[in-house]
Amino acid sequence: MSNKPNKKRIGLFLLVGLICLAGLIGKVVIDKVMPKNNNLIVMFFNESVKGLSVGSPVVLEGVEVGKVARISLVADLNSQDFRIPVYIRLANNLNVGGGLSLKSPSEREVVLKQLVDRGLRARLVSQNLLTGQLMVELVMLPDVPIQYVTIPQTARFLQIPTALSTIGELSKGIQDLPLRDIVYKLDGIMNTLNEQMPIIMPEFARLGQSLNQLSDNVNGAVKKIDKSVPKTTQTLNHFNRTLDNISQAAKSLRNLLDYLERHPESLLRGKGN
């Protein structure tokens, strides 16, 4: 005689299984819809975050160490200013020296403070040039000053200071240029040129004529010099020959004086006697 199955036990087992399945599904749904915020880190970028979305990677030295968890918009009606807090969630398997673990909120705060003091900053970098997608890069920039943003909505979160991206620095440099003053000065210069052009052009024409006349005079003087060079050369040759003749005459006179000094009687008797 076979034993009949205990329907109560089977029903209880099915009920417990359904409760466990429902709890597991509920946990997954809650984690997806309302994720835990105790391990989020917030940052504020002083530039547009267009191209950054939830799920964008957070990289350190090219290695993905987390993802963007949430992007919010906070408006301050008093100052008419908008803040865009970007929340990231770091991976729990990130190894930290000294036996510290990022899973513990207290140890995470200690590690993050040490890294920030040594120059840890966050900045936006391009993830895909074709689509314009951005990602968050954690980089050591000790020269960038630490600037924290304090608003009630993010007071309980850890915060990483940010630095401008390359495009942001370029845009800021262009914005800092006094473009309006430059345009006004250029406009004033153009107006002055338009006013002075009728006066300047005749002066330029006269200057051109004077330069042409000067050039003609210089050419004429050069031609005269070219013509006088042969005559000057001939005169110099005659002068050189004359100097040679004078030199020879002086030599002959010097010889005669030397002879008379040695033979003064020759003036009375003659050279033959």
CA distance 136 to 220: 78
pLDDT tens column, 48-74? 888 899 999 999 888 888 899 999 888
Q: Among 71-80, 145-154, 198-207, whose mean pLDDT is lowest?
A: 198-207
pLDDT at residue 1 greater than cutoff 60: no
Q: Taking a C-beta distance cutoff of 8 angstroms, is the pair 52, 68 a contact?
A: yes
What is the overall mean pLDDT for the chain?
A: 77
Instruction: Give the start-to-end residue ranges of the domains of the chain.
Output: 40-167
pLDDT at residue 139 greater than cutoff 70: yes
| 100-106 CB contacts, 8 Å cutoff, 24+ apart | 102/39, 103/39, 105/38, 105/39
**Stated pTM of the model:** 0.53
> Per DSSP, what are the bridge partners of residue 59?
64, 137
Q: Which of 97, 98, 91, 42 is nearest to 71 (CA)?
A: 42
Report how far apart, in Å, the C-alpha atoms of 125 and of each of 45, 118, 140, 248 are.
12, 21, 14, 98
